[in-house]
């Protein structure tokens, strides 16, 4: 067991000045989070001096882990020139050029400060261009902190065979009118999606999809389902929006760069900022012109004090330049290996579980043999307490994954690191799940 007394004291101090003691999330690790002091390559060190192999990577944003030489050099050079300006800078052009050169359906890009803001601006663009208000999004998909998409994120699964499609607000801070502005559809479910979309066809401005929605189970969108949504939106002059804030790390050209099916607008972020805050909206010039203040309608206003600040731009440029096609292929192979090793650990420990994900991302589910829908992912969440115990056990043995079992590969990682992940995970399964099952059986025998 690691000693984390300084983290415990820090959390007590933080709770006096912040709700739950943090501003990163409304819920955090129990009984308190580990406070980190530094990072190097694939490892982080906490304020107590404990060192961890980090598969959190700031919720998948740090594709290079910590202290990447090119990113650090770029930041140090820009630091001496200026942190931010009211006027544009060359690095903004250079990062935009890199992104548009890589992704064929990116003709123009506009930077934001967060992924949530990028999704918000994409939806505003769709509403302006179509003159409609209603947006469809997949049940269970998380698209950030923007009213229009904060429905049916963690709510109980909809009974689609009973009609379904009703919106459920994610929290109490949302206006009731949001329920009339957004409709939920079932991910990868043709029949019920068709029914919901057809019932609202004259009102829909856009269909918003995530190619690899984490909270749905980190399962990829089916090519046939994507093709159907593309046909449906095109036939009705609605826009197809792809949220790749998480999944832009799947390949050199993002999630859909190699696909023949292209979204109208893409919202993305995380890895393109080199570890600093960022988001972006990209698409064809016919769509992106909605952001140009030329006195013509439709027009969507967008500005931000720190949008495209040069520190983020140079960090993002260095980070993305280092992510060559070969480097994407290498870490995606490590992702394949990680999922295989984790699945082997389940089998070796004799525990029922599933490992989902694509590319450099993985997610662990305990108690579920497979995950292919939001309903199955939601049902598997009944083991969240057990998963939490597994995550804490792994943390105490020097390996970090997120509280929901999500992990991300970073470029400094090696097969040896993956071996450590799998070994510690298997130990956690045996210590937490197997022993708990044995205790339950023993108690049943005694009764």
Say what the pTM is: 0.95
Domain spanning 69-322: which CATH class is it, in words? alpha beta
**Over residues 140-150, mean pLDDT:** 97
The pLDDT, as a whole number, for residue 30 is 76
Domain with CATH 3.90.1150.10 in the chain: 5-63+324-446
Domain with CATH 3.40.640.10 in the chain: 69-322
User: Contacts by 221-229 with C-beta closer than 8 Å and gap 24+?
Assistant: 221/187, 221/188, 222/188, 223/259, 223/261, 224/190, 225/187, 225/188, 225/189, 225/190, 225/193, 226/259, 226/261, 227/261, 228/190, 228/193, 228/194, 229/193
Q: How confident is the model at residue 166 (pLDDT cuts 50, 70, 90)?
A: confident
Architecture of the domain defined by 5-63+324-446: Alpha-Beta Complex (3.90)
Q: How confident is the model at residue 248 (pLDDT cuts 50, 70, 90)?
A: very high
The pLDDT, as a whole number, for residue 187 is 98
The pLDDT, as a whole number, for residue 320 is 98
Does pLDDT of 440 surpass 80? Answer: no
The pLDDT, as a whole number, for residue 47 is 98
HSE-up of residue 440 (Cα within 13 Å, Cβ side): 6
- Which tens digit of pLDDT belongs to each residue from 122-141? 999 999 999 999 999 999 99
């Amino acid at each position: 067991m690691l000693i984390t007394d300084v983290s415990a004291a820090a959390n007590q101090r933080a709770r006096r000045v912040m709700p739950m003691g943090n501003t990163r999330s409304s819920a955090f690790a129990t009984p308190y989070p580990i406070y980190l002091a530094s990072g190097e390559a694939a490892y982080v060190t906490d304020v107590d001096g404990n060192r961890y192999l980090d598969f959190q990577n700031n919720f998948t944003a740090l594709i290079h882990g910590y202290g990447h030489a090119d990113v650090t050099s770029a930041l140090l050079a820009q630091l001496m020139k200026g942190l931010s300006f009211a006027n544009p800078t060359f690095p903004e052009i250079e990062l935009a050029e890199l992104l548009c050169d890589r992704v064929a359906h990116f003709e123009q890009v506009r930077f934001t400060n967060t992924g949530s803001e990028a999704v918000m601006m994409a939806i505003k663009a769709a509403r302006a261009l179509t003159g409609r208000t209603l947006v469809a999004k997949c049940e269970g998909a998380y698209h950030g902190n923007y009213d229009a998409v904060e429905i049916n994120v963690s709510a109980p699964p909809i009974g689609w065979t009973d009609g379904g499609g009703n919106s459920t607000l994610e929290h109490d801070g949302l206006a009731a009118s949001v329920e009339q502005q957004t409709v939920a559809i079932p991910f990868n479910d043709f029949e019920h999606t068709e029914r919901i979309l057809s019932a609202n066809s004259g009102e829909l401005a856009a269909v918003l999809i995530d190619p690899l929605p984490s909270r749905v189970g980190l399962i990829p969108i089916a090519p046939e389902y994507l093709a159907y949504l593309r046909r449906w939106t095109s036939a009705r002059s609605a826009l197809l929006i792809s949220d790749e804030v998480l999944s832009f790390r799947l390949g050199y050209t993002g999630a859909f760069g190699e696909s023949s099916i292209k979204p109208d607008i893409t919202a993305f972020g995380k890895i393109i900022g080199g570890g600093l805050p960022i988001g972006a909206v990209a698409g064809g010039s016919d769509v992106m012109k909605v952001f140009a203040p030329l006195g013509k309608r439709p027009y969507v206003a967008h500005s931000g004090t720190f949008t495209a600040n040069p520190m983020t731009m140079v960090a993002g440029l260095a980070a993305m330049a280092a992510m060559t096609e070969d480097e994407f292929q290498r870490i995606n192979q490590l992702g394949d290996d990680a999922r295989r090793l984790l699945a082997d650990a389940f089998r070796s420990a004799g525990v029922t579980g599933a490992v989902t994900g694509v590319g450099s991302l993985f997610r662990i589910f305990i108690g579920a043999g497979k995950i292919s829908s939001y309903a199955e992912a939601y049902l598997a969440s009944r083991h969240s307490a057990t998963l939490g115990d597994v995550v804490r056990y792994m943390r105490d043995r020097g390996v970090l994954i997120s509280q929901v079992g999500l992990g991300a590969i970073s470029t400094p990682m090696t097969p040896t690191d993956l071996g450590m992940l799998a070994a510690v995970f298997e130990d956690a399964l045996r210590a937490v799940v197997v022993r708990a099952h044995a205790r339950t059986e023993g108690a049943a025998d005694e009764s």
